[in-house]
Structures are given as structure tokens and as C-alpha cells.
Amino acid sequence: MWNFLFSFRGRASRADIWKFTIACTALVLCLRLIFKASPDADVFARAQEILSQGPIVDRLILIFALLVSCLITLAGLAVTTRRLHDREKSAWWLIPFWALPQLNSRLVPGGLFAHTSHRWFEHPVTLIGLGLGFWAFLELFCFAGSIGENDYGRDPLPRPVINPFSEEQTQ
């Protein structure tokens, strides 16, 4: 399990990234339900105040949330890197697939539906971010990986190798 979550070497199949995404989504939803049950529902909006002078329970909730967020992010980067390896792409593809959409969300909070001062770059930047997100979804979750061994390791799926000159199939 440790290698599945935190190893940046090797390859990951489509099923692996789907399982990881579904498990992380379920975990985050459960944690949100737990945090909503906290006596102070506005814990995260007041993080600076709580860390400096808040109750110990709220401090522990914030520290736990930060730790879980860091672990999920690191595991997500590792699984995504291995999935890119399965598509015969290097981890540099994390820049257009992760970093640029994050930058877009910081530049244009709210995206196309933001009620802002309508600076000239907001809508094109948002559309580029949406395009990159759609491309990343196709590359990571829809397209099959390369068949057989590639530069990043063995095929994560056990596929029979068919030799046209032999009547037997080998694994």
C-alpha cells in the first residue's frame, strides 16, 4: 500500500488512478462531515485566529486537516506521475495538468462565473484552465496506457503477448 500511494517509480493503470480518486473523494467527504459536526463550523475560515488563540480541539482539527491534505496531495502526485509514466509521459506533464490549473484558480477565483472587475485576461485564462483540465482527464482517466514494457517499467496490466510466428500465447 505504501508503494502504491507514495512511490513515484513505475506505472499505474487507469483502474489504479480511478480507485485512488474514488477513495480520496470518499475520505474527504467523510472528513468534511466530521468537521461540520465540530461545535465551531467556521474552523477553517478562521485558521489564523484559531492557531494563535483558539481552543485546543480546534487546533488539533486544523493540524489533522493539514496533515491529511499534505498526504493526499503527495499521494496524488505519486499516483498521477505513475499514470503519466503508463502513458509514456514524464512527470513534467504535472505542470500543465496540476500546476497551471491551480495557478488559474488563484488568478481568477470563481472562474467564468466570477463577479470581478472583468480584467481582460480572466476569461481566456479560465478557458485555458478548463481545456487543460479536460485534457488531463482524458489523458489520465480515459486513454489506455502503452502495451508492454516502456522506459518507466513493466506494464501494470497482465496482458498476453501474442507471437504471430508461434501457436502459443505467453505471459
- For cell 489520465, the residue is 140
The number of residues making up the chain comes to 171
User: Is the whole model's pTM more than 0.95, yes or no?
Assistant: no
SS3 9: coil
SS3 11: coil
pLDDT at 82: 96
pLDDT at 18: 96
Phi and psi for 170 in degrees, rounded to 5?
Answer: -115, 155
Distance from C-alpha of 19 to C-alpha of 4, rounded to nearest angstrom: 11
pLDDT at 4: 87
pLDDT of the chain, 171 residues: tens digit per residue: 888 899 999 999 999 999 999 999 999 888 878 776 655 555 566 778 877 887 788 788 788 888 988 999 999 999 999 999 999 999 999 998 888 777 776 766 665 555 555 566 667 777 888 888 899 999 999 999 999 899 999 999 887 767 677 666 555
pLDDT at 125: 72
**77-91 burial code (b ≥16 CB/10 A, e <16):** ebbbbbbbbbbebee
Q: Which three cell numbers stand for residue 28?
A: 474527504
- Domains in the chain: boundaries: 1-88
